[in-house]
Structure 1
């Protein structure tokens, strides 16, 4: 890793860039100030001349990413005389190019943003919302059929398309990458949202109560989802399940063991459903629609899948992390193979980028507070994912 020249005129930016690489590789909790200093070829105290702590470095990186997107939006909107498709395409292309160029920043926001100080989280949230509001305003001018809330939903979905570059390392030539992302976002912005929630079917009744193990898994999943893994203790989990903290250890050896059980169960549900869908489908398009239904059902039915996605990979043991990653890749590869067969104009890498964009929309919107309470969200996720995959 390159060190910083002592004469470099922008030491803060260079330090932040090196720290971003370390945060991305090891996770926020796996990096200390001395690690950043060593990568820069300076001492730990020298880092403190520029930043108060590593939290301030993370904020510098992420706020810089927001600023770049604001600049790209301002540049595109400054040329708008009237809302037309060509101008919107220019905006989408500009943001897509920025996303491809700085996909590391998107990854840090997605996985490490919760480690920011509350005031920095609020600042990024405020500026992101303002950005989305400006997008929604232009979209409503282009599509008078949309109300403010629906326009905002579509803009959040488009932002997820751009952010999807952070969840995988697949790449194609930069120009083609940006073109593909812009096209996927364009499909999202043209979606006709369902007017009513689709019936999800009755929730079956039950006999008795959950076993103690299931109670602990449910309690842990909810707490991890609300607070994050590192902010929850075994005592918190026990209290939520109605037992003393030490009693949790009779069922799970550690908090990490609970997390692994949650993640593995969510993954198994997806794989079992995928097998059922594949065997019951007449063609690739039908199979993809079945996978969309399955994914949305699992994602919105409990918080387990969201918890497994939002927790640092380094939280798992090496063996568990490797196994969960293998399962995830196998699952995604099924989507990619089906999409490649249904849309032969896409090569394998382009199909993978497209699949990740569709999955990221569902993952993001299901945990975005401004939209995840919509009555029709499950139906809307299905329509959005199908649009990204171009299923008609």
Structure 2
């Protein structure tokens, strides 16, 4: 008997298989339908876009796969189904940006009937539009491409080299009298000026920004850079005690070469010929303290020149010309420091970031005031964007042309004067 009722639900006696009203009342109500989360058809693109935004905000080393998964409200397992690693996401974004840069220099078939200036204007518009649309991440290519693996690094550089070559050819059609070197300098300068908007948060309306970048690009193309220039001598540096200065210089060189996250205190000690890492702590409290000291040195070099330049000048143009000369010479003398100042800011401790950012803003504001005084048709917002562009240009030219015989400081000074003074 027991075997016959296994698997059957027992009924109370006297029901004869019928359901009583009490039973009906006590029966559980129908469970709510389970909400099914459908996987978006464009999940891979969504992941790529969200990870790019994260890299743009925090840098490659400041983001983990778990961070990206949380931003998307998905599990890490779901994330790994689409991308095998954080590096693959990083690689995809950088190569996407270099591909866009190359695409921007392509002309439509009907461009054969256009004038040289119309063809160049079309490409400038494409470069500027794509850069504005991708402003949150364009800085990744400039400062973090060194974290790409060699084959990917070569692919990215090949695409940007091809884009610069295409732009150089278009400029040569407008300025056929320029030599190959001068054409290359102007092409690199245009990409540097346009992409500089990724380094800061200064804003003006999109149409105003586009018009400003277009006008500045054409100013660089049309400028006469043949006049002989003078290069001012940099002011004497206030050196710290020998070991402080040596440690800081070696640390900056390593940060520039490998990236801050990939340098240890032991590496710095070895580079400075110290017996052990513990010896570094006699001069600096931590690796982060070394980075902050580097930032302060770079900022002090620029801020310290402002008041004397203004006091010695008769006009805003003269003061600005003096500051431009000192900035270019100082940046070329300490190229690694200038690069680190831009590339490693996200690795500074938050409290120090606040202080350093405030100092940066003061420097930009003082330069922008001089720009507006010299060019009253510009707003302060536009002037700030041009100052950022000028600072950024020095870094990019210093990296692109390591031989000063190709792009000497006096040529860079003239380019900055062209950007800021018009």
Partner residue, 2:139: 107
Partner SS for 1:42? coil
Specify the alignment match of 1:373 in structure 2: 403
Q: Answer yes or no: is the 8 Å Cα contact 1:93–1:179 preserved in 2.
A: no
Q: Distance in 2 between matches of 1:264 and 1:270?
A: 10
Q: Render the CA deviation track for 1:180-207: whole Å, top value 9, x for unaligned.
A: 1111111112233347674555999xx9
Conserved 8 A contact 1:110-1:166: no
Deviation at 1:114, TM superposition (A): 2.7
In 1, distance between residues paired with 2:376 and 2:227?
32
Alpha-carbon shift at residue 174 of structure 1 (Å): 1.8
Q: Does 1:87 align with 2:124?
A: no
Segments of 5+ residues of structure 2 without an aligned counterpart are 1-36
| 1:257 counterpart (286, 289, 312) | 289
Tell me the matched-pair count.
Answer: 383
1:232 aligns with 2:263: yes
> Deviation digits for residues 85-140 of structure 1, max 9, x if unmatched?
22212211221111111112312223433332222221110110011111112222
Task: Report if the CA contact (8 A) 1:296-1:382 is conserved.
Answer: yes
8 A Cα contact 1:76 1:87, kept in partner? no
Cα distance 1:104–1:137, how it changes in 2: closer, same or farther (>3 A)? same
| The structure with more radius of gyration | 2
Deviations 1:162-191 (A, max 9, x none): 101101122222222211111111111223
* Offset of residue 141 of structure 1: 2.4
Tell me if the contact between 2:204 and 2:381 (Cα under 8 Å) persists in the aligned partners. Answer: yes
Equivalent-residue separation in structure 1 for 2:220 and 2:38 (angstroms): 47
Residues 252-278 of structure 1 show CA distances to partners (whole Å, capped at 9, x for unaligned) of 111111111111112111111112111
Q: Is the 8 A contact 2:102 2:162 kept in 1?
A: no
CA deviation after TM superposition for structure 1 residue 53, in Å:
0.7
1:282 and 2:345 matched:
no
Verify: 1:189 aligned to 2:221, yes or no.
yes
Q: 1:256, 1:289 → 2: CA distance?
A: 35
Per-residue CA deviation, residues 287-320 of structure 1 (Å, 9 max, x unaligned), is 1111101211221121323222221x33111221
Q: Matched residues in 1 for 2:112 and 2:186: separation?
A: 20
- What corresponds to 2:250 in structure 1? 219
Return the offset for 1:76. Answer: 5.4
Shift, 1:321, TM fit = 1.1
Structure 1 unaligned regions, length at least 5: none
The question of whether the paired residues in 2 share the 8 Å contact of 1:234 and 1:248 is answered with yes
Task: Select the residue among 317, 330, 333 that pairs with 2:349.
Answer: 317
> 1:325-340, aligned counterparts within 5 Å?
325-340=357-372
Relative distance call for 1:210 and 1:148 in structure 2 (3 A) is farther
Distance 1:162-1:80 versus aligned 2 partners, 3 A rule:
farther
2:183 to 151, 174, 185: 151
* Deviation, structure 1 residue 352: 1.3
Moved over 6 A (4+): none
